[in-house]
Chain A
Amino acid sequence: MRIGVFVCQCGTNIASTVETEAVAREALQHPDVVYATSYMYTCSEPGQQQIQRAIQEENLQGVVVAACSPRMHEPTFRRAVEKAGLNRFMFEMANIREHVSWISNDRQANTRKAAELVHMAVAKLRFNHPLSPSRVAINKRVLVIGGGVAGIQAALDCAEGGLEVVLVERQPSIGGKMAKLDKTFPTIDCSSCILGPKMVDVAQKENIRLYACSEVESVAGYIGNFSVQIRRKATCVDWNLCTGCGLCMEKCPAKKVPDHFNEDLGNTRAIGIPFPQAIPKKATIDKEHCRQFTRGKCGVCKKICPVGAIDYEMEDEFISEDFGAIIVATGFDLFDHSSYGEYGGGRFPDVISGLQYERILSASGPFGGHIQRPSDGRQPRNIVFIACVGSRDASVDRPYCSGVCCMYIAKQAILTRDHLPDSNCYVFYMDIRSPGKNYDEFVRRAQEEYGVNYIRGRVGKIYPKNNHLIVQGADTLLGAQVEVEADLVVLATGVEASAGARELAEKLRISYDQYGFYMESHPKLRPVETNTAGVYLAGVCQGPKDIPSSVAQGSAAAAKVQALFSRDTIETSPQVALVNERACVACGKCIQVCPFGAIQWKELRGGIQKAEVLPSVCQGCGLCNATCPPKAVQLQHCTDNQILAEIDVLCA
């Protein structure tokens, strides 16, 4: 093989701590290396041309570039060598920037290590074979998981582009957390007034199929060809018949059912529609509280239902659908403030979460939009807001900023002063985080126009006294202790990963961070993609964000899907496992360990069993190769012989 080695200086990124000329000179000593040089920017146009010229003039059969991480420029160089007539897999990259020049200033040691990495790359390249990708058709249907505002936006944008969309929502209605909000910052427009039309659009778009009260049960397949099983949870109401008239809800005798839509501030019935604007507007039975299920008799709704939609025997139903891409928009849950013992640990009825206060403020909420205390219904006079409850607090394992609380407290304080001009609002905060368009102006208005008292400091304790709550805190700007006799305390509870986020991630084979937020492929440059091709992220499931950002990410994910679907086929990577049938001893261990179900039995003539890899399903993780005792399964482009060759030159 005739190999060319190109050592990049990356301006001064590499050259300042690595003697690139020396690395190139040493490379010429290795077997098969016939050409070696160093260049200022190998990834630049002239840099790539230099490679292509050398391939022509020196008759190169393989190319090694020593430069940055392959994650950065491997695709660039593969394209470059391919244009010059080489197979793109006759190329190897040695990372001498992230792995060498950026991590040490020792010029001598760096040059040595860079030379060794180049040597390893050359040794591996000598065992490379031309590989060619195969093409598979794309199923141009998209699955959107989660019907909050991000998922709704993604579904609508995909549908607008003519794609067939399936939207899966685990609650009985789409709308997500936004449907529970009263007004939205910084414009104070009514949340359900701006979300409602989008929800209706979802219901009316002919190419969106909505599965509410449903969850993703399992995911198989790969980009372009996912096969997803969806569990439609038993609602005990036949939604094909239910007209959403609400008669069942009126007559249901179970009246003390906690109203989850109202954050348990009021009661609802055991059957019903969660809120008036619900989409789909269909009733669901809450089996935990329904008398038919808890006591075994009742049947009132079944008698009253004018269309006979009630079916107590209904069971979960499973349906299978195929998709080419998946958008994950599973949103978030609110931090449970009961772990803050100093704030009453959830025991004081008048210490409430931010979302509970949203429901209190809402005209469709438990108190019809009148601000009153949950404990006695009295109108509060002094209202204290406490920021960063379950945010920026390592002691409860939530060191991150939830990003929205500063803004929603300001909004709630403004709304409170609007509703109750005689009230006093206090905000205990750590810092104000308002980096959005018109956001800081909004907080200023709360402070300056609406006279909300902002106190910089933490609250140390809340305790009840004479029908009030005494809030003790510090004002760190004055260096003084503060005590407020509050009637109502609103905790700005932070954002945390949605319940079940980790389980779903494992089904989708996407990664998540230590808090359960899904990992994007690159924190800056690929914020919508995951590391599993064909799976995209939208909304808070990827990390705390506000409504505009969630909507933007929903649209971005839809754009990614549209771009993917603009082709009819996609290339599958040839870097997959391959079984050497002569060596396979048919022990079946590879089949057992494969996380993707990509290996199956194959029967040869005479009934002899051998393992067989399905190249389009294989993700190239290499578990089978590690497990195979006779090493009959080899990962293409990363074979045992290639790795052993690298180790050999390193240890020689």
Chain B
Amino acid sequence: MNSDLRSELHKKAEQAWPDLELLIGWQAGYDDLHTTPVFIRDSAEISKLIWNPWCTQNLAVYVAKHFAASSGKDDKKIGVCVKGCDSRSLIALLQENLVARERFYIIGMPCKGIVDLRKLHALSGAARILSVQVNAEQVALKSAAGVLHFPLDEVLMRKCRRCRYPNPLIHDVLVGDPLTPRTDAHEAYNDVAAIERLSLQERLAFWQGELDRCLRCYACRNACPLCVCQDRCIAETRDPKWLTQYMHLPEKFMFHFIHALHLAGRCTECGECERVCPMEIPVALIKEALNKITLELLDFEAGLDPQRVPPLLTFDAGETGI
């Protein structure tokens, strides 16, 4: 499905290269099911770029954490490939003045959805996956046990099944044609609504069960494009001492809720925190719940309009509706 788009990506990257010092994209990983980020500093490496439903990483994460402050040589820019969801992270960084728009050349990739490897493994059972073919709406999974066919929807990541922004909202060039969104704002928070329907006791029990598994590896934090405190995260500082290093449930709760509160009105729902969690805790749900509140209360979604200031980053005495 992607050979046309891949050559279009290569062509557009070649065209842009004279203005770039670095291009961040995806390359093939150690097997067909994995991709890894690639940092291209030589035009000969452009052919490494790939684009397929496994290109899962949100490359915007590198933008604020590593390249925001560096200034380009000869005004050269940093190119970055973004899916619809990733583009919102970039816009959120712009909204907070954490990056400068003119520093980046944005290659937008309209995205039909990213495959969730965990779902694939669950469907294949114990058998080793040999190869996977993705056609328009179908997935053919070949394993030692034979070939299985699934609708694409069934193996997509949770964030993709509730995707409202398949097309990059900010880009200098687009690879492929724009797509129609899968859901609207109303449906997008169905997962949160399902949790909200639980009684308080059930909800507490649910989160106690989930968060008890947390290892405090901080992968969720490190993968978040908007967690900008870097090595000053208050989960690890001693002054002020908000958290201890004990592996108690209250400390785990505290960490996750501080993380979520720091993202209130900022989270762009790229789902990276949830994807990278080795314990498969649905941590993105907490942030989605806050986003739902932000949308209802303040009519704001992070990462849509670069000009808008996130409501929790302003002081407006005349603010209504609160």
Instruction: List A residues at the B interface (Cβ < 8 Å).
Output: 506, 583, 585, 587-589, 592-595, 623, 627, 629-632, 634, 639-641, 644
Residue numbers in B under 8 Å from A592 (CB-CB)? 309, 313-315
A587 lies within 8 A of B98 (CB): yes
A644 lies within 8 A of B241 (CB): yes
Residue numbers in B under 8 Å from A506 (CB-CB)? 317-318
Q: How far is the CB of A585 from chain B (nearest CB, A)?
A: 5
B230 lies within 8 A of A585 (CB): yes
Residue numbers in B under 8 Å from A639 (CB-CB)? 240
**A–B pairs, 10, beta carbons within 8 Å:** A583-B232, A583-B237, A587-B228, A589-B96, A595-B315, A629-B228, A629-B234, A631-B242, A639-B240, A641-B241
Q: How far is the CB of A628 from chain B (nearest CB, A)?
A: 9
Q: How far is the CB of B110 from chain A (nearest CB, A)?
A: 31
Given contacts A592-B314, A593-B315, contact A629 B240 (CB under 8 A): no
Residue numbers in A under 8 Å from B242 (CB-CB)? 631, 640, 644
B297 CB–A CB distance under 8 Å: no
B183 CB–A CB distance under 8 Å: no
Residue numbers in B under 8 Å from A585 (CB-CB)? 228-230, 232
Please list the 6 inter-chain residue pairs (A to B) with the smallest Cβ-Cβ separation, ordered nearest first: A640-B240, A630-B232, A595-B315, A630-B229, A592-B313, A506-B317
A631 lies within 8 A of B240 (CB): yes
Given contacts A585-B229, A585-B230, A587-B98, contact A630 B237 (CB under 8 A): yes
B233 CB–A CB distance under 8 Å: yes
| Bound Cα distance from A640 to B243, whole angstroms | 12
Q: How far is the CB of A639 from chain B (nearest CB, A)?
A: 7
Residue numbers in B under 8 Å from A631 (CB-CB)? 234, 237, 240, 242
20 more contacts with CB within 8 A, not counting A593-B313, A629-B262, A630-B233, are: A506-B318, A585-B229, A587-B229, A588-B96, A589-B96, A592-B309, A592-B315, A593-B312, A593-B314, A595-B315, A627-B313, A629-B227, A629-B229, A629-B234, A630-B234, A631-B240, A631-B242, A640-B240, A640-B242, A641-B239
Residue numbers in A under 8 Å from B135 (CB-CB)? none
A623 lies within 8 A of B234 (CB): no
Residue numbers in A under 8 Å from B240 (CB-CB)? 631, 634, 639-641, 644
B307 CB–A CB distance under 8 Å: no
Residue numbers in A under 8 Å from B180 (CB-CB)? none
B208 CB–A CB distance under 8 Å: no
B133 CB–A CB distance under 8 Å: no
Tell which of A594, A627, A632, A641 touches B312, judged by Cβ atoms closer than 8 Å: A627
Tell me the chain B residues, 255-305 only, with Cβ under 8 Å from chain A.
262
Q: How far is the CB of A536 from chain B (nearest CB, A)?
A: 21
Residue numbers in B under 8 Å from A594 (CB-CB)? 315
Interface size for B (C-beta < 8 A) is 23
Count CB-based A-B contacts (< 8 Å): 56
Q: How far is the CB of B84 from chain A (nearest CB, A)?
A: 25
B97 CB–A CB distance under 8 Å: yes
| Bound Cα distance from A467 to B240, whole angstroms | 79
Q: How far is the CB of A63 from chain B (nearest CB, A)?
A: 25
Residue numbers in B under 8 Å from A593 (CB-CB)? 312-315
Chain B residue at minimal CB-CB distance from A502: B318
| Bound Cα distance from A634 to B241, whole angstroms | 12
Chain A residue at minimal CB-CB distance from B230: A585
Q: How far is the CB of B248 from chain A (nearest CB, A)?
A: 13
Chain B residue at minimal CB-CB distance from A594: B315
Q: How far is the CB of A510 from chain B (nearest CB, A)?
A: 11
Residue numbers in B under 8 Å from A634 (CB-CB)? 240
Q: How far is the CB of A652 from chain B (nearest CB, A)?
A: 13
Instruction: List B residues at the A interface (Cβ < 8 Å).
Output: 96-98, 227-230, 232-234, 237, 239-242, 262, 309, 312-315, 317-318
| Bound Cα distance from A193 to B242, whole angstroms | 68
Given contacts A506-B317, A640-B240, contact A588 B232 (CB under 8 A): no
| Bound Cα distance from A506 to B318, whole angstroms | 8
| Bound Cα distance from A540 to B239, whole angstroms | 49
| Bound Cα distance from A623 to B241, whole angstroms | 19
Residue numbers in B under 8 Å from A587 (CB-CB)? 96, 98, 228-229
Report which residue of B312, B314, B315 has the largest number of chain A beta carbons within 10 angstroms of its beta carbon: B315
| Bound Cα distance from A634 to B312, whole angstroms | 19
| Bound Cα distance from A593 to B262, whole angstroms | 14
Residue numbers in A under 8 Å from B315 (CB-CB)? 592-595, 623
Tell which of A588, A595, A623, A629 touches B97, judged by Cβ atoms closer than 8 Å: A588
| Bound Cα distance from A627 to B229, whole angstroms | 13
Residue numbers in A under 8 Å from B314 (CB-CB)? 592-593
Q: How far is the CB of B134 from chain A (nearest CB, A)?
A: 39
B317 lies within 8 A of A595 (CB): yes
Q: How far is the CB of B259 from chain A (nearest CB, A)?
A: 10
| Bound Cα distance from A587 to B98, whole angstroms | 6
Residue numbers in A under 8 Å from B97 (CB-CB)? 588
Residue numbers in A under 8 Å from B229 (CB-CB)? 585, 587, 629-630
Chain B residue at minimal CB-CB distance from A643: B240
Q: How far is the CB of A560 from chain B (nearest CB, A)?
A: 25
Q: How far is the CB of B19 from chain A (nearest CB, A)?
A: 24
Q: How far is the CB of B228 from chain A (nearest CB, A)?
A: 5
Q: How far is the CB of A634 from chain B (nearest CB, A)?
A: 7
Q: How far is the CB of B232 from chain A (nearest CB, A)?
A: 4
Q: How far is the CB of B124 from chain A (nearest CB, A)?
A: 41
Q: How far is the CB of A126 from chain B (nearest CB, A)?
A: 13
| Bound Cα distance from A629 to B260, whole angstroms | 11
Q: How far is the CB of A651 from chain B (nearest CB, A)?
A: 10
Q: How far is the CB of B231 from chain A (nearest CB, A)?
A: 9
Tell which of A589, A632, A640, A644 touches B232, judged by Cβ atoms closer than 8 Å: A632
Chain B residue at minimal CB-CB distance from A590: B313
B234 lies within 8 A of A589 (CB): no
| Bound Cα distance from A632 to B239, whole angstroms | 9
| Bound Cα distance from A366 to B81, whole angstroms | 75
Q: How far is the CB of B167 from chain A (nearest CB, A)?
A: 28
Q: How far is the CB of A442 from chain B (nearest CB, A)?
A: 43
Q: How far is the CB of A479 from chain B (nearest CB, A)?
A: 47
| Bound Cα distance from A583 to B239, whole angstroms | 9
B318 lies within 8 A of A589 (CB): no
Q: How far is the CB of B262 from chain A (nearest CB, A)?
A: 5
| Bound Cα distance from A623 to B316, whole angstroms | 12
Residue numbers in A under 8 Å from B239 (CB-CB)? 641
| Bound Cα distance from A491 to B155, whole angstroms | 74
| Bound Cα distance from A588 to B230, whole angstroms | 15
| Bound Cα distance from A587 to B309, whole angstroms | 14
| Bound Cα distance from A641 to B241, whole angstroms | 6
| Bound Cα distance from A64 to B296, whole angstroms | 45
Residue numbers in A under 8 Å from B228 (CB-CB)? 585, 587, 629
Q: How far is the CB of A449 from chain B (nearest CB, A)?
A: 52
| Bound Cα distance from A421 to B96, whole angstroms | 75
| Bound Cα distance from A623 to B234, whole angstroms | 18
| Bound Cα distance from A641 to B238, whole angstroms | 10
| Bound Cα distance from A594 to B229, whole angstroms | 20
Q: How far is the CB of A630 from chain B (nearest CB, A)?
A: 4
| Bound Cα distance from A622 to B96, whole angstroms | 20
Chain A residue at minimal CB-CB distance from B238: A641
Q: How far is the CB of B250 from chain A (nearest CB, A)?
A: 10
Q: How far is the CB of B256 from chain A (nearest CB, A)?
A: 15
| Bound Cα distance from A639 to B318, whole angstroms | 28
| Bound Cα distance from A194 to B234, whole angstroms | 66
| Bound Cα distance from A191 to B232, whole angstroms | 68
Residue numbers in A under 8 Å from B318 (CB-CB)? 506
Q: How far is the CB of A622 from chain B (nearest CB, A)?
A: 12
| Bound Cα distance from A589 to B241, whole angstroms | 21
Residue numbers in B under 8 Å from A629 (CB-CB)? 227-229, 234, 262
| Bound Cα distance from A593 to B316, whole angstroms | 9
Q: How far is the CB of A602 from chain B (nearest CB, A)?
A: 16
| Bound Cα distance from A234 to B196, whole angstroms | 57
| Bound Cα distance from A639 to B239, whole angstroms | 10
Residue numbers in B under 8 Å from A583 (CB-CB)? 232, 237
Residue numbers in B under 8 Å from A641 (CB-CB)? 239-241
| Bound Cα distance from A629 to B237, whole angstroms | 12
Residue numbers in A under 8 Å from B237 (CB-CB)? 583, 630-631
Report which residue of A585, A594, A627, A630 has the largest number of chain B beta carbons within 10 angstroms of its beta carbon: A630
